[in-house]
Amino acid sequence: MSRYEITVGIECHVQLSTKTKLFSEVDNDARGKEPNSCVSPVDYALPGMLPRLNGEAIKFAIRAGKAMNCEINPNSRFDRKHYFYPDSPKGYQITQFYHPIIGAGYIELPDGTKIRIEHAHLEGDAGKLTHFSNYSLVDLNRVDTPLIEIVSMPDIHSAKQAHDYCKELWRAMVYAGVTNGDLYNGNMRFDVNISLAPEGSDKLGTRAEIKNLNSFRSVEHAVEYEYERQSKLLDKGEKIKQETRGWSDATGKTTPQRSKEEAQDYRYMPEPDLPPIRLSKKFIEEEAAKLPTTPKQYREKFKNIIANDTLEILLDYKPLMEKLAELKEKSVARVSNLFTSVLLAEEKSVEMLNSLPTATQLSELCEMTEKKELSSTASKEVFLRFFDPDMKQKTARDIAKELNLLQENDLSALEKIVDGVLANPATKQAQEDFKAGQEKVIGFLVGQVMKASQGKANPSSAQEILRQKLKN
């Protein structure tokens, strides 16, 4: 079996979280709302309606562009892309085919690889159809939600890289604050173009496009599947058909949807109802300056404090990074561990991320742990209580007190407890075994001390005292 080099280019649609829609002033956030309740006469395409332009979407586009290291074009314009389908009330989508607002740039992957961005443009989203046996229902709530479509160069050469690119792009958009970034609800959707060519060939092969993937995992698996599918065909000497294919998570396969021969002619034309967008250099610079801290800047900031693997996990949660950035450097490592080992293991971690403890709460918790007032177990216990609605207003110390978690650090008091344990006949055998050289029995004895102290003893101090006493 000969080997092939895979080339992947990705188009990504990002729904912008602006207050209102791209061309009208109705609510852009239709989550949990009745179908067709967030629709203006403009979105509904009544006769005589004209699009307005949402300035916030322009600002978001500038920020998104900067988050991808892109040029912002001072002159851009809208075009109409025509097609008939009930999800498109106007019979055309307003997009930027000829003069996009965002020019060339790149996304840098965690390993430093740069994937170039060809351009990105603003456009309105389509509505949603639900199909039943002999009828379909149309929901226009999503019509003209602002989107930016980000078109990458064919710089991606493995399934893993495709996954990483999508994830890094997602992070860039979420950190830029331009999207809710909820993949499950289609806030970002990926169209992946995949082609194979014999290794060393300077020509790209015929590509297949897998449309509408909405998770990083699906992107990775679809690319893997296509590599297998296309290389088998090429091995047999067959040609790859240029076509659009769909991916099924359930079967783990792509299947043909539309071939090039059936491809639609969108009859693009300049949108005559919207004047060109002209942006001054000053305006672009002012908006670009509003770009919040980027994932790359966080990596730079924490690279010597948080282990690389942990950092890459935590980077998926913007509120966490923002919280860590509020803390003193010495607390960062401990809090990042709490987040990784405690919070992310929780079932409700996503909800909990929306109401993180304050920097003061966290700092006090770190201090108490460092001073050994709290054991590491107790520290985790207190940390989780920060998310308890009844406790979240309280300080770390108050919670620790309330739960009786403060460690016994008074050595004389501890010594008394140890003496009590050693005097207990039930530990006699263990003491002898230890003296005879059975090291691990110390654990049992420490456990007894902990039990006697009702968990408040500092285990390492207890062990130290035990060893001293048993030596004599």
User: Where on the chain is the footprint of another protein (CB under 8 A)?
Assistant: 41, 44-53, 80, 82, 84, 86, 89-92, 136, 138, 265-269, 272-275
φ, ψ of residue 218 in degrees (nearest 5): -60, -40
Given a contact cutoff of 8 angstroms between Cβ atoms, the answer to whether 222 and 244 are in contact is no
Which of residues 146 and 295 has its CB atom nearest to another protein in the complex?
Answer: 146
Handedness of CA 38, 40, 46, 51 (dihedral sign): negative
End-to-end CA separation in angstroms for the chain: 73
Shortest reach from residue 283's CB to another protein, in Å: 18
Which of residues 91 and 447 has its CB atom nearest to another protein in the complex?
Answer: 91
User: Which residues, 6+ apart, have CB-to-CB distance to 123 below 8 Å?
Assistant: 22, 93, 94, 95, 96, 146, 147, 148, 149
Long-range contacts made by residues 46-51, C-beta under 8 angstroms, separation at least 24? 50/273, 51/22, 51/23, 51/24, 51/94, 51/144, 51/271, 51/273, 51/274
CB atoms under 10 Å from CB of 84, counted, come to 8
Shortest reach from residue 242's CB to another protein, in Å: 16
CA separation for the pair 461, 435 (Å, rounded): 19
Which of residues 48 and 237 has its CB atom nearest to another protein in the complex?
Answer: 48
Shortest reach from residue 15's CB to another protein, in Å: 23
Which of residues 89 and 295 has its CB atom nearest to another protein in the complex?
Answer: 89
CA separation for the pair 312, 299 (Å, rounded): 8
Which of residues 136 and 404 has its CB atom nearest to another protein in the complex?
Answer: 136
Shortest reach from residue 45's CB to another protein, in Å: 4
Given a contact cutoff of 8 angstroms between Cβ atoms, the answer to whether 152 and 11 are in contact is yes
Given a contact cutoff of 8 angstroms between Cβ atoms, the answer to whether 149 and 137 are in contact is no
Shortest reach from residue 75's CB to another protein, in Å: 16
Given a contact cutoff of 8 angstroms between Cβ atoms, the answer to whether 14 and 147 are in contact is yes
Which helix (H) or strand (E) segment holds residue 200: the answer is none
Shortest reach from residue 232's CB to another protein, in Å: 33
Shortest reach from residue 90's CB to another protein, in Å: 5
Which of residues 269 and 413 has its CB atom nearest to another protein in the complex?
Answer: 269
Which of residues 277 and 418 has its CB atom nearest to another protein in the complex?
Answer: 277
CB-neighbour burial class of residue 169 (10 A; exposed 0-12, middle 13-18, buried 19+): buried
Shortest reach from residue 362's CB to another protein, in Å: 48
Which of residues 91 and 256 has its CB atom nearest to another protein in the complex?
Answer: 91
Shortest reach from residue 64's CB to another protein, in Å: 23
- The number of CA neighbours under 13 Å toward the Cβ of 278 is 2
- The number of CA neighbours under 13 Å toward the Cβ of 53 is 18
CA separation for the pair 40, 22 (Å, rounded): 11
Shortest reach from residue 83's CB to another protein, in Å: 9
What angle is formed at CA 59 by the lines to CA 154 and CA 16, rounded to 5 degrees? 65
Shortest reach from residue 259's CB to another protein, in Å: 16
Which of residues 79 and 226 has its CB atom nearest to another protein in the complex?
Answer: 79
CA separation for the pair 259, 395 (Å, rounded): 63
Which of residues 91 and 443 has its CB atom nearest to another protein in the complex?
Answer: 91
Which of residues 45 and 406 has its CB atom nearest to another protein in the complex?
Answer: 45
Instruction: Supply the angle between the helices 329-338 and 318-326 in degrees, to the nearest 10.
Output: 150
